[in-house]
């Protein structure tokens, strides 16, 4: 499993969105994903809504 991240739109740092999936599952998502959203961004403390295009994967334990 890989962890799903987006970039915080305020700080441009990666934020783990709380999902774990592989590329094929990410590809299978609806183009506009409205749920779940990030309620407390670890970088800026705000809430973020993300769309499929905002998401990318990072492998566990990767550097």
Site of interaction with Zn ion (CB under 5 A): 8, 10, 41, 43-44
Tell which residue, 39, 36, 34, has the closest CA to residue 51.
34
**15 or 33: whose CB is closer to Zn ion?**
15
Q: How far is the CB of 47 from Zn ion (least distance, A)?
A: 8
Q: How far is the CB of 53 from Zn ion (least distance, A)?
A: 17
**25 or 55: whose CB is closer to Zn ion?**
55
User: Residue 24: is it exposed, middle or buried by C-beta count within 10 angstroms (0-12/13-18/19+)?
Assistant: exposed
**26 or 44: whose CB is closer to Zn ion?**
44
Tell which residue, 1, 9, 3, 6, has the closest CA to residue 46.
9
């Amino acid at each position: 499993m890989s962890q799903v991240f987006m970039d915080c739109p305020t700080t441009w740092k990666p934020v783990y969105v709380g999902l774990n999936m592989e590329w094929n599952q990410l590809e299978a998502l609806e183009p506009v994903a409205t749920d779940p959203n990030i309620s407390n961004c670890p970088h800026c403390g705000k809430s973020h809504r993300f769309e499929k295009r905002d998401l990318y994967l990072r492998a566990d334990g990767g550097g």
